[in-house]
Amino acid sequence: MTNERTPPAPGTAGESAGESAGPAASGSGPAHRARSVRAAGGEPAAGEPLLVAEGLVKHFPVLGGFPFRRQVGAVRAVDGIDLTVRAGESFGLVGESGCGKSTTGRLLTRLLEPTAGRIRYRGRDITHASRRELAPVRSEIQMIFQDPYSSLNPRQTVGTIIGGPMEINGIDPPGGREHRVRELLETVGLNPEHYNRFPHEFSGGQRQRIGVARALGLEPRLIVADEPVSALDVSIQAQVVNLLQDLRRELGIAFLFIAHDLAVVRHFSQRVAVMYLGRIVEVGDRDAIYRAPRHPYTHALLSAVPEIGTYGAGEEAHGAGGAERRERIRLAGDVPSPVDPPSGCRFRTRCWKARKRCAAEVPPLVRIEGNREGHLTACHFPEEPSTSARTEDIVLDPALAAIEERGAGEPRTGEQS
């Protein structure tokens, strides 16, 4: 197994200790070529809408019956979401496992056919475009898959894996495809001499870099990264995330970054959407979501992130270094089934602020009073825009509350009874 290269330093693409930055940093590399091609092709200005989804729906049929099978229900994986990815930005999509994040990514890349709704790319409706109509769009919207092991063909060499999309799209870059593949390997921090090696000869982090190189091969305008670091070690996660950041800055590529690791999303994304059971419940810029969330589910999600620090007597209100301690919320039960989701607000069955109105009306995703521009929340009874510790923790799980109550009288580690 080959050795992992050191992570690229901020501001470079593929540069590691003791080595040159490679073609990406030069005037003749892929960054320069991508900018030239996009300038000629009318690339949308940074900040303009690049991909827009309106009322996007994907229901998977549930079949039953014997001897004649028929549809008896549907899994409402995505149930009416609106989102906009702007040119050159990194847009994060977070939520619990099973909330529909990956399905959303596959819908936007048209790997899945939408049940309803509309998808527009650069102003063009591609919702139900045919295979031939999608051909020019495929090269501009690429995807990095979650599993770096199953997403690479074990029977193909790295050169074939990365060069295959160029061959399929009839692209013959200057210097030939092999030269371009070696250039891409150097861009993502791998040795160009790995061209003839097979996937099993690489570590997990290196395989994910190969997946990134494959996505870059067609010089896309948008990359959908479906949990690209969830299967990697923490140290390798940092390398891959820094690599993607460098590529975004260097090549001006927009990213839809799908993950459930809130720390990684905060580090990478400029805007963030929070998804729950097939619907987006809150969306805004990074500071608005992480510092001033309004939806109860966003509060609960952020409170689940572990805090580093030990609190002694008189220190309950502050964390390590005097930082203000965050609120603490513990929900009860599991996420409801997408086959039979709750009426109205889908979070109401686990929400401490639920009222009758929450069951009767679906809350619209709108800007509510106190939110900054672009910060939208879908909630009838929003929380205050703060993550500071509450007077009393919210613990909805009776079993957890009983355990904590029994442990409250026990001395802390290191204290004398």
pLDDT digits (tens, 9 = 90+) for 27-40: 445 444 444 444 44
- What are the φ and ψ backbone dihedral angles of 45, each rounded to 5 degrees? -65, 150
Q: What would the mean pLDDT of 108-134 be, rounded to a whole number?
A: 95
Of residues 14 and 118, more confidently modeled: 118
Return d(Cα 260, Cα 265) in angstroms, integer: 8
Cα four-point dihedral sign 286, 290, 295, 298 = positive
Tens of pLDDT, residues 292-347: 999 999 999 998 887 665 444 444 444 444 456 778 888 877 889 999 999 999 99
Structure-token pair, residue 328: 């603490």
Q: What is the DSSP letter of 258?
A: E
Note the pLDDT of residue 65: 84
Residues 75-106: tens digit of each pLDDT: 999 999 999 999 999 999 999 988 999 999 99
Prediction pTM value: 0.81
For the stretch 45-67, pLDDT in tens is 777 999 999 999 999 999 988 88
Domain locations along the chain: 23-63+72-269, 295-307+326-408
CATH number for domain 23-63+72-269, candidates 2.40.30.10, 3.40.605.10, 3.90.1150.10, 3.40.50.300? 3.40.50.300
Q: Which residues pair with 282 in a beta bridge?
A: 274, 377
User: Cβ(92)–Cβ(260) under 8 Å?
Assistant: no
The size of the chain, in residues, is: 417
Average pLDDT, the chain: 83
What dihedral do alpha carbons 26, 31, 32, 33 form, nearest 10°?
130
Find the DSSP H helices in 174-294.
Answer: 177-187, 204-216, 234-251, 262-268, 286-291
